[in-house]
Chains A and B, each alone.
Chain A
Amino acid sequence: MNAMQKILRWLLKGALWLVSWIFGLALAIPLIALFAIEAKQGTWGVSIALYVLVMGGLALFATDAMERFALWRRAASRGFWARVLCNAMDVWGLLAGISAFVFFIKPWQWSNWVIAALLIWLVVWMLLTRRGRQAASVTGVGVSTLRQRLGSSAVIVIGIAGVVGVLVALLAMGEGYSQTLRKTGNADTAIVMRGASASEVMSVLDHDSIVQIVQTPGIARDAKGQPLASPELVVAANLPLKGGSADDEGSVQLRGVGDEAWAVRPQVKIVEGRKFNPGMRELDVGKGAAQQFAGLVPGHQVRLGSQLWTVVGVFASGDAMDSEVWGDANVVADTYRRGSSRASVVAKLADPQAFDAFKAALAANPQLKVDTDTTLAYYAKQSEGMTTVIRIMGITVGLIMAIGAMFGALNTMFAAVATRAREIATLRAIGFRGLPVVVAVMLETMLLALLGGVIGGALAWLVFNGYGASTLAAGTVGKLSFELAVTPELLWTGLKWALAIGFVGGLFPAVRAARLPVTTALREL
């Protein structure tokens, strides 16, 4: 009988719990649905209004009304509707937290302005209003006792530093990769390939087409009146990798070029040795390629297939060309049995505005079936896929880590609130209201989070800025070397993530602190 009663009570309790949560969620569902619709349409107008609503609701939730509500909740905690309402408000708070998190980490331009506005409002509020001054003094007490809680505070700082460090490093990888490719392109240089070729190496242009392309109006001319256009052949070569066994071969992009190649790419400069001589089996190697592959040193000979080629110089350009090896176009074509065909024509335009006319002229030529792009657009397109993959990977890893760090912060701040329960209750007993307490706890958490973000970002910058990496890039057939780039924007993104984690990590403990019934807290002495 006793057991039956127990089970019945359990079931009843469970049902009550379930019903009240469902009710709370039901209140939130329209909000979630609206979000989903907006995200699909890409219009965020209404969402912005909703954010304001959510934030407003949160502020209401946290202020004095809550204090009374907490008392009432306690008194009426056995009532069904009281419970339902409490859970509804919990869900509301959770949603507010999540939207705030999204709001912080989304790379929207306006979110920066909102953060700045909130900050100014906070400072003014703390300086000018009585309640603000109360909040400031409570925060001061909290921060001054941080030293006694060094161990647990370090959990927040180091946890968030880890998240920000890893996130920034991964994003820096994507940034470095796309920067390297983007820098390779120029708005005033055009690249002409056979139509529907996804990349240079897949394109074939025969001799007649090349002659016509080079003579198309719109191309800049050099001092002698020759068009600045460079027909180029792009193939791959297998070379032994540095630091591997003799059998460990990698692929490098080999570009067969003429004299014009140096003229259309002024950024490519010889830093060691000399340029190859036309008609000779000589190579100039990019700085990045020289670091990746063995034996790419001036004076050395390397084997391409059955032939021996001599490395005569090293060039540097600071972009994707650094990962290439250049040789004379005719000799390369001979080795690879390409005859007089080439892969692409890179042309310096008279001025960037001439591009549309140049492209139209090529399209209008009935003997040609070519695609024309500025090199800027071409390389941007090549970097797109890989950059997206790295970004998604970075954000996924970052999000999972952020959840872990957020709960670490929650843990720490709950403990901090618990140890200061008496102090907070005393403050409330002598007339402090709920809001200053909420603000104080949240400020303390976000301060620690900010510290963590700064440390993580600084570490990522120190360790990974300029760190060399390589991959097989889309659209090329060789290893592309690039350097991780920790840009100020990425550091700002990292800081925003840190603040977002701190915000959510502080929100719930803060609300708990404000809800703490004064009498109970003092009685626990």
Chain B
Amino acid sequence: MKYFHLIWAALFRRKTRTILTLVSIVAAFLLFGMLDAVRTSFDQAGQSANGAERLQTGSKLSFIQTLPQALGARIAQVPGVKMVTYANWFGGAYQDPHNQVFSFAVAPNYLDAYPEIAVDPAQRKAFDDTRTGALVGETLAQRFHWKVGDKIPLQSTIFPDKSGNKTWTFDIMGIMHAKDKKSAGFYDQMFLLHWKYFDETTPYNRGTVGWYVTRVADVNQADRVARAIDALSANSDHETRTQTEQAATANWMKQLADIGLIVGSIMGAVFFTLLLLSGNTMMQAVRERTSELAVLKTIGFSSRSVLAMVLAESVLLLLIGGVIGLGLAAVLIPGVSAHSGGMLNLPTVGAGSWVLGLVLMVLIGLLVGALPAVRAMRLNIVDALAGR
């Protein structure tokens, strides 16, 4: 620490070069921050304590197949089950069939299974009392400029009513807010309607249920409860498959894309380039300071401390650039999420990304500084001063 001033002075000996290199490092770590946020959002989807407690029971045949409503009462009797609720995929779209809305027809107690969704009690009551009522997530409401009290037409891309008309009218009774924006931003995009209204209006559903959501009393019993639920319908014509919400979401994300591989390959290319680039800068920096380093040694600096100083300089270079880059990512990501119109919902740079980023900075700094540092250490004073 005593020599910090010396290291700092050496680093900014040539301002242009250092600043140009810093911008490259900033760009690399900005990219790292953003891509790591994408990766984390894929990894962490559904990874909440509540998610581990909830089981999803769907048809074993495929996720589009429905289950009989009577199964709900039997699931409720499985030991260890705290509550059961159910929902159907509604397939809603607003104005244009390609403008899809995550809409579910849900049981009256559906929200009780999701304590992480906050709804004003008065609004919840109004929703419960209105047959054609709907609750919308706050991001969704913003996207289409909906307000509480609005009457909106939503067309179902799957279910027509009895006369074959596919445009349904709903009264917006309340707004849902996800309590934890980081891991549960999805809830802000949801649209909930009453299953009863849905089932009575469309001739296609006939009292069936898309999937059951079960809360278990004890997380450690989740596997046993899941097997017990599946045993209820074994060998029937509606066999079920029960998974924790965590496992189901992870499975879904894995099918969507191997995001880890994509992010990994991009970052590999970026950091390899960065290694070369900052390595070149450090080589230049040491080469042109040869005589100064020789003077340092002459006045009594040991070879090892010269080595340490060059290494510290390169680590410092990476740290400055990297921290600025990650900081920039942390500032930019919420903006990107806000402007994507609900398409993207990225968590900001988390503690994990910061730690990984800092480790990478130090590691790359050491790697980059190694060669010039060893060169500086082995410097022969007489030769260096003679300019040989």
A304 interface hit (Cβ, 8 Å):
yes
In contact, B65 and A472 (Cβ under 8 angstroms) = no
**A408–B270 CB distance below 8 A:** no
A306 touches B251 (CB 8 A): no
Chain A neighbourhood of B103, CB < 8 A: none
With A249-B251, A305-B59, A336-B65 in contact, do A400 and B30 touch (Cβ < 8 Å)? Answer: yes
Q: Are B280 and A162 in contact (CB under 8 A)?
A: no
Interface residue B20 (Cβ < 8 Å from any Cβ of A): yes
Cβ contact of B157, chosen from A170, A202, A389, cutoff 8 A: A202
* A389, A407, A469, most chain B CB atoms within 10 A: A407
In the complex the two chains form, is A155's CB within 8 Å of B280's CB?
yes
Interface residues of B in 253-312 (CB under 8 A from A): 255-258, 265-266, 269-270, 272-274, 276-277, 280-281, 283-284
Residue in B20, B97, B235, B255 whose beta carbon sits within 8 Å of that of A479 in the complex: B255
B199 interface contact, C-beta 8 A: no
Residues from chain A with a CB closer than 8 A to the CB of B274 are 404
A477 within 8 A of B: yes
Which residue of chain B has its CB nearest to the CB of A471? B257
**Are B31 and A400 interface neighbours, CB within 8 A?**
yes
Residues of chain B contacted by A151 (CB below 8 angstroms):
280, 283
Using CB atoms, name the residue of chain B closest to A248. Answer: B251
Task: From A43-51, A127-135, A232-240, give the one contacting chain B.
Answer: A232-240
* Interface residue? A465 (CB, 8 A): no
Contact A152 B284 (CB under 8 A): yes
B27 within 8 A of A: yes
Question: Once bound together, how far apart are the Cα atoms of A305 and B67, in whole Å?
Answer: 12
Distance (whole angstroms) from the CB of A374 to the closest CB of chain B = 17
Shortest distance in angstroms between A418's beta carbon and chain B's nearest beta carbon? 9
Question: Is B201's CB within 8 Å of the partner chain A?
Answer: no
A279 contacts the other chain (Cβ, under 8 Å)?
no
Question: Which of A100-108, A191-199, A269-277, A423-431 forms part of the interface with chain B?
Answer: A191-199
One of A152, A162, A385, A415 near B269 (C-beta < 8 A): A162
Given A196-B157, A197-B97, A236-B62, check contact A158 B273 (CB 8 Å). yes
B166 adjacent to A196 (CB under 8 Å): yes
Interface pair B204/A204, CB less than 8 Å apart: yes
The docked-state distance in angstroms from the alpha carbon of A159 to that of B28 is 11
Does A335 lie at the interface of the complex (its beta carbon under 8 Å from any beta carbon of B)?
yes
The reply on A329 being an interface residue by CB < 8 A is no
Q: Within the assembled complex, what's the spacing in Å between the Cα atoms of A411 and B280?
A: 10
- Is A217's beta carbon under 8 Å from chain B? no
Given the known interface contacts A198-B98, A235-B64, A415-B284, the answer about A410 and B20 at a Cβ–Cβ threshold of 8 Å is yes
The distance from the CB of B41 to the nearest CB of chain A, in whole angstroms, is 13
Interface segment, one of B130-138, B214-222, B236-244: B236-244
B26 contacts across to A, CB distance below 8 A: 404
Q: Does A142 contact B (CB under 8 A)?
A: no
Which residue of B has the minimal Cβ distance to A404?
Answer: B27
CB <8 Å contact, A198 and B93 = yes
- In the bound complex, how far is the Cα of B204 from the Cα of A470, in angstroms? 32
Alpha-carbon gap, A410 to B276, bound state (A)? 15
B276/A159 in contact, CB under 8 A: yes
* Chain A contact patch, size range: 35 or more
Chain A, Cβ-Cβ closest to B233? A306
Chain B 1-23, CB-CB to A under 8 Å as 1, else 0, gives 00000000000000011001101
With A195-B166, A238-B62, A477-B63 in contact, do A159 and B97 touch (Cβ < 8 Å)? no
A305 in contact with B64 (CB, 8 Å): no
Q: Are B164 and A477 in contact (CB under 8 A)?
A: no
- B359: interface (CB < 8 Å): no
Tell me which residues across on chain A come within 8 A of B236, comparing CB atoms: 306
Q: When A202-B91, A238-B62, A336-B65 are in contact, do A404 and B280 touch as well, CB less than 8 Å?
A: no
Q: How far is the CA of A151 from the CA of B27 in the complex (A)?
A: 22
Q: Is B158 an interface residue (CB 8 A)?
A: yes
Q: How many angstroms from the CA of A334 to the CA of B376 in the assembled complex? A: 79
Residues from chain B with a CB closer than 8 A to the CB of A248 are 251
8 Å CB contact of B62 from A162, A169, A235, A410:
A235
Q: Are A336 and B61 in contact (CB under 8 A)?
A: yes
Give Cα distance in the complex from A248 to B97, angstroms: 32
* A466 interface residue (CB < 8 Å to B): no
CB-CB nearest in chain B for A151: B280
What is the distance, in angstroms, from A453's C-beta to the closest C-beta of chain B?
A: 14
A397 with B266: in contact, given A197-B157, A305-B61, A306-B236 (CB under 8 Å)?
Answer: yes
Q: Which residues on the A side are within 8 Å of B276 (C-beta)?
A: 154-155, 158-159
Give the docked Cα–Cα distance between A1 and B97 (Å).
Answer: 74
- With an 8 A cutoff between CB atoms, is B24 at the interface? yes
The answer to whether residues A411 and B20 also contact, given A152-B284, A305-B59, A471-B257 and a CB cut-off of 8 A, is yes
Q: Could you give, for residues 45-78 of chain B, a 1 whenever the CB lies within 8 Å of some chain A CB and a 0 otherwise?
A: 0000000000000011111110000000000000
Judge whether A283 is part of the interface by a CB distance below 8 angstroms.
no
Q: For B93, what are the chain A residues with a Cβ–Cβ distance below 8 Å?
A: 196, 198
Please name all residues of chain B whose beta carbon is closer than 8 Å to the beta carbon of A403 when the two chains form the complex: 23, 27
The answer to whether residues A397 and B100 also contact, given A305-B60, A306-B237, A414-B20 and a CB cut-off of 8 A, is no
Interface check B40, CB cutoff 8 A: no
Which residue of chain B is the closest to A371 with respect to CB atoms? B97
Contacts A235-B64, A238-B60 given; indicate if A159 touches B277 (C-beta within 8 A). yes
- Is B183 interfacial (CB-CB < 8 Å)? no
Question: A165 within 8 Å of B by Cβ?
Answer: yes
The closest CB in chain B to the CB of A335 belongs to: B61
CB-based contact A159/B63 at 8 Å: no
Name A250's contact: one of B35, B59, B255, B284 (CB within 8 Å).
B255
B241 near A238 with CB under 8 A, answer yes
A473 CB to closest chain B CB (Å) equals: 10
Q: Which residues of A contact B88 (CB under 8 A)?
A: none
With A198-B100, A404-B24 known as contacts, the answer to whether A162 contacts B272 (CB < 8 A) is yes
Chain A residues near B63 (CB-CB < 8 A): 236, 238, 251, 477
Which residues in chain B, 88-113, are within 8 Å of chain A measured between CB atoms?
Answer: 91, 93, 97-98, 100
Determine whether the beta carbon of A152 is less than 8 Å from that of B273: no
A385 to B344, CA, bound (A): 13
Interface pair A404/B62, CB less than 8 Å apart:
no
Whole-angstrom distance from the CB of B257 to the nearest CB of chain A? 5
Tell me whether A281 is interfacial, beta carbon within 8 Å: no
7 contacts between A and B (CB under 8 A): A162-B272, A169-B265, A198-B91, A199-B157, A385-B98, A404-B31, A412-B280
**Nearest 8 A-B pairs (CB), nearest first?**
A404-B27, A305-B61, A236-B62, A162-B273, A411-B20, A407-B23, A404-B24, A198-B157
Task: Add 15 more A-B contacts to A237-B62, A477-B63 (CB < 8 A).
Answer: A152-B284, A159-B276, A166-B266, A198-B98, A198-B100, A238-B62, A249-B251, A250-B255, A251-B62, A305-B239, A401-B270, A404-B28, A415-B17, A472-B255, A477-B62
